[in-house]
């Protein structure tokens, strides 16, 4: 193309670029001035030029400064391996054209075409078309009343609206209510400060009613006769903001987690610690970062053998022969600056490898002081309980043996007698209870072997071995069968019978019946206290017997409930029994 007037183009590019001279061969109306720095360009621009072409990769940068100084001159920004971010920055800063290219030769040719188009184009419509053509983001202009005067076609892909739907509207109505105040301030500052570039991130309602997060870059171009508008370049950053929020949440959780965390580099130097770890060792987090972890050994904070364990753990984790991802050491004693020693379980993992090389570790310290103290106390109690049970067993078995021997002599002299038989049954029951007590004390087992038992038969057998005075019992013939430890189930019935006699009177009537998912034991005694079942439950006035009842039921996986019987006495219901 040959122009009707002389045209001067200023090319600002590194020496390695071929320049625009060859691109304008055959057009004597174009003169190209070629400089290699912004400083030289600012000097050259003292002479009038019709268009400036500047590359984005100038040594030291500075294309924004050049653009600001040639504000009224058409400006083309050329970039090798450009990006949407650079395109958005160029448009927001006021560049007339953004030209991405793969190599200098192609860039020079496309820049020459852009210069031709710029110098030939006139009016706002042509300028808007250029903005749309060279940006994948949403380009919009707003008049002085804040209404949308132009929006690019890309709004359909980003927000789901056709451009015609939005023209003349006030987009503030689509901004999320919580973000509107910030956007009002954004536009207000743009109007007050024409030379400033502003950014804002906010949520905008789409055509389907959902919200997307937009990042907008705006500039006041009211003084440009070709635009006379505020120009806004917007991009969808929803996924980026969601990832950012998730990362911030994770960082917050890590920072406030009650677990001490630290990161060591490949040399064993602290790169990062959270506040919880600083509390573990009794030092400021800032004072820890940058020091070697072995310093904690030297100061007596952690035991000396932690070093060899750490080295061995790293070697094991790095080994290709193992799939172990974490090394663990339990109950590591840590002494803080005040001399207090606490116990921690330590978990050690590798940081992601750097090109296959060891890059460091991350460790978690979970305090277990109270748990270890509880375990130690529990062990001491169990030892005392076992010792007590053995002594008690010895003290009980001696008189039991004597009673059993005397009873056998009496049976030899008197023969079969109902009273003697009952006495023998009671002694056998006492012996079984002693054996069960020893098993519980030594093995911690509430239940023994589970077998299918008949609830009615066990209830009758328990009545025969319980001192019931003048009390009577009514046992339904078919209470059902279930899987249970027969000895423990019998003990449950015995304790309930004794409870009825003790609280309901010597002439109380006890009833054993079935429920859809279990059974019940009820009486016609004095009933439950006015304040509910609390006094009848373990640990209250009901005594140790009902505590045993509750423990046996729980061990079987049954639910126990206490309520008033139909005769206004007490009723103990057991459900989840699975009786048939």
- d(Cα 471, Cα 494) in Å, to the nearest integer? 13
pLDDT tens track, the chain, 580 positions? 455 557 788 888 877 676 666 777 667 778 888 888 888 887 766 567 888 888 887 776 688 888 888 877 889 998 877 777 788 888 888 888 888 877 777 777 888 888 877 776 544 444 445 555 555 689 899 988 888 988 888 899 899 999 888 888 888 999 999 999 999 999 999 988 887 889 999 999 999 999 999 999 999 988 887 778 899 999 999 998 888 887 676 666 666 667 899 999 999 999 999 988 998 898 898 999 999 998 999 999 999 999 899 999 888 888 855 555 789 999 999 998 888 899 999 999 988 877 778 889 999 999 988 888 888 887 887 777 777 777 766 666 667 777 777 777 777 777 766 677 777 777 776 776 676 666 666 555 567 789 999 999 999 999 988 877 789 999 998 888 999 999 889 989 988 998 888 888 888 999 999 998 999 999 998 877 655 444 444 433 344 567 778 888 988 999 999 998 888 899 999 999 976 6
- d(Cα 360, Cα 366) in Å, to the nearest integer? 20
pLDDT of residue 393: 67
Residues 489 and 534: beta-carbon distance below 8 Å: no
Pick from 401, 395, 398, 422: which is nearest to 411 by CA?
422
Tokens of 544: 């140790």
Note whether 259-367 and 373-443 share their fold.
Answer: no
pLDDT of residue 169: 82
- Going by their DSSP bridges, the two strands 7-12 and 30-35 should be labelled as parallel
Q: What is the DSSP letter of 28?
A: T
Residue 200 backbone dihedrals phi, psi, to 5 degrees = -150, 140
Tokens of 508: 């109380």
Place of tokens 């050329």: 78
Those residues whose C-beta lies under 8 Å from the C-beta of residue 203, and which sit 6 or more positions away, are: 175, 176, 178, 179, 211, 212, 213, 214
Torsion of CA 304, 307, 308, 313, to 10 degrees: 140
CATH of segment(s) 451-575: 3.30.565.10
- For the chain, the C-alpha Rg in angstroms (whole number) is 44
Tokens of 168: 């003349």
Q: Where do the structural domains in the chain lie, given as residue ranges? A: 7-120, 138-241, 259-367, 373-443, 451-575
pLDDT in tens, 362-417: 999 999 888 888 888 878 877 777 777 777 666 666 677 777 777 777 777 777 66
CATH of segment(s) 138-241: 3.30.450.20
- Going by their DSSP bridges, the two strands 472-475 and 509-515 should be labelled as parallel
Q: Going edge to edge, which strands form the sheet with 138-142?
A: 148-151, 138-142, 229-236, 211-221, 197-205
pTM greater than the 0.85 cutoff = no
pLDDT of residue 416: 66
Residue 111's Cβ-count burial label (10 Å; 0-12, 13-18, 19+) is buried
Pick from 232, 211, 241: which is nearest to 138 by CA?
232
- d(Cα 44, Cα 39) in Å, to the nearest integer? 9
DSSP reduced 3-state for 328: strand
CATH of segment(s) 373-443: 1.10.287.130
Helices 369-414/418-443 angle, 10° precision: 160
Q: Going edge to edge, which strands form the sheet with 518-523?
A: 472-475, 509-515, 518-523, 570-575, 559-564
- d(Cα 140, Cα 150) in Å, to the nearest integer? 5
Evaluate whether the domain defined by 7-120 bears CATH number 1.20.1430.10.
Answer: no
Q: Alpha carbon 338 to chain centroid distance?
A: 33
pLDDT of residue 98: 87
% helix, strand, coil for the chain, step of 5: 45, 25, 30
Residue 344 backbone dihedrals phi, psi, to 5 degrees = -140, 140
Q: What b/e sequence results for 272-292 when a residue is b if at least 16 CB atoms lie within 10 Å of its CB, and e otherwise?
A: ebbebbbebbebebeebeeee
Place of tokens 């509910």: 532
> What are the distances in angstroms from CA 348 to CA 232, 269, 286, 384?
50, 15, 22, 38
pLDDT of residue 162: 92
- d(Cα 92, Cα 195) in Å, to the nearest integer? 11
Pick from 146, 169, 200, 144: which is nearest to 155 by CA?
169
pLDDT in tens, 304-360: 999 899 999 888 888 855 555 789 999 999 998 888 899 999 999 988 877 778 889
Evaluate whether the domain defined by 259-367 bears CATH number 3.30.450.20.
Answer: yes
Those residues whose C-beta lies under 8 Å from the C-beta of residue 29, and which sit 6 or more positions away, are: 2, 3, 4, 5, 6, 7
- d(Cα 182, Cα 393) in Å, to the nearest integer? 80
Helices 486-504/544-556 angle, 10° precision: 150
Pick from 105, 98, 70, 62: which is nearest to 83 by CA?
98
Alpha helices in 94-179 (DSSP H): 104-120, 123-133, 155-159, 163-166
């Amino acid at each position: 193309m040959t122009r009707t007037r002389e045209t001067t183009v200023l090319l600002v590019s590194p020496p390695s670029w071929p320049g625009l001279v060859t691109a304008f061969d055959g057009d004597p109306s174009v003169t190209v001035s070629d400089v290699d720095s912004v400083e030289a360009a600012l000097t050259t621009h003292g002479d009038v030029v019709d268009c400036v072409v500047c590359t984005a990769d100038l040594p030291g940068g500075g294309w924004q400064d050049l653009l600001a100084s040639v504000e009224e001159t058409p400006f083309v920004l050329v970039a090798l391996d450009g990006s949407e971010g650079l395109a958005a920055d160029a448009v927001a800063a006021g560049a007339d054209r953004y030209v991405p290219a793969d190599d200098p030769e192609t860039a020079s040719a496309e820049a020459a075409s852009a210069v031709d188009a710029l110098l030939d184009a006139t009016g706002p419509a042509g300028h808007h078309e250029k903005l749309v053509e060279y940006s994948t983001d949403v380009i919009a202009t707003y008049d002085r009343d804040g209404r949308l005067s132009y929006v690019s076609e890309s709004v359909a892909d980003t927000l789901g609206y056709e451009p015609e739907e939005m023209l003349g509207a006030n987009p503030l109505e689509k901004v999320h209510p919580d973000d509107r105040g910030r956007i009002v301030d954004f536009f207000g500052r743009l109007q007050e400060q024409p030379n400033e570039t502003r950014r804002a991130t906010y949520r905008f309602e789409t055509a389907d009613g959902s919200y997307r997060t937009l990042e907008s870059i705006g500039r006041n171009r009211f003084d440009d006769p070709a635009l006379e508008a505020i120009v806004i370049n917007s991009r969808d950053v929803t996924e980026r903001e969601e990832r950012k929020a998730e990362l911030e949440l994770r960082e917050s959780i890590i920072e406030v987690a009650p677990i001490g965390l630290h990161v060591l580099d490949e040399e064993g130097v602290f790169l990062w610690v959270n506040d919880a770890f600083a509390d573990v060792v009794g030092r400021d987090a800032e004072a820890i970062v940058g020091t070697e972890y072995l310093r904690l050994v030297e100061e007596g904070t952690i035991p000396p053998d932690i070093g060899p364990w750490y080295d061995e753990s790293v070697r094991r984790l790095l080994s290709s022969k193992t799939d172990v991802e974490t090394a663990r050491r339990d109950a590591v004693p840590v002494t803080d600056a005040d001399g207090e020693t606490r116990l921690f379980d330590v978990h050690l993992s590798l940081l992601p490898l750097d090109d296959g090389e060891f890059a460091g570790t991350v460790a978690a310290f979970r305090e277990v002081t109270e748990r270890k103290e509880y375990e130690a106390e529990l062990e001491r109690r169990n030892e005392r309980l076992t010792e007590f049970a053995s002594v008690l067993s010895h003290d009980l078995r001696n008189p039991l043996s004597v009673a059993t021997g005397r009873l056998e002599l009496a049976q030899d002299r008197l023969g079969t007698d109902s009273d003697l038989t009952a006495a023998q049954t009671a002694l056998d029951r006492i012996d079984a209870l002693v054996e069960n007590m020893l098993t519980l004390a030594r093995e911690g087992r509430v239940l023994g072997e589970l077998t299918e038992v008949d609830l009615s038969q066990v209830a009758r057998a328990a009545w025969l071995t319980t001192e019931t005075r003048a009390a009577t019992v009514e046992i339904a013939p078919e209470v059902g069968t279930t899987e249970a430890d027969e000895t423990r189930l019998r003990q449950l019935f015995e304790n309930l019978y004794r409870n009825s006699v003790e609280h309901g009177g010597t002439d109380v009537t006890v009833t054993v019946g079935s429920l859809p998912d279990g059974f019940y034991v009820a009486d016609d005694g004095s009933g439950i206290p006015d304040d509910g079942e609390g006094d009848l439950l373990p640990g209250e006035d009901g005594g140790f017997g009902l505590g045993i009842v509750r423990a046996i039921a729980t061990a079987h996986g049954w639910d126990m409930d206490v309520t008033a019987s139909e005769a206004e006495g007490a009723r103990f219901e057991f459900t989840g029994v699975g009786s048939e």
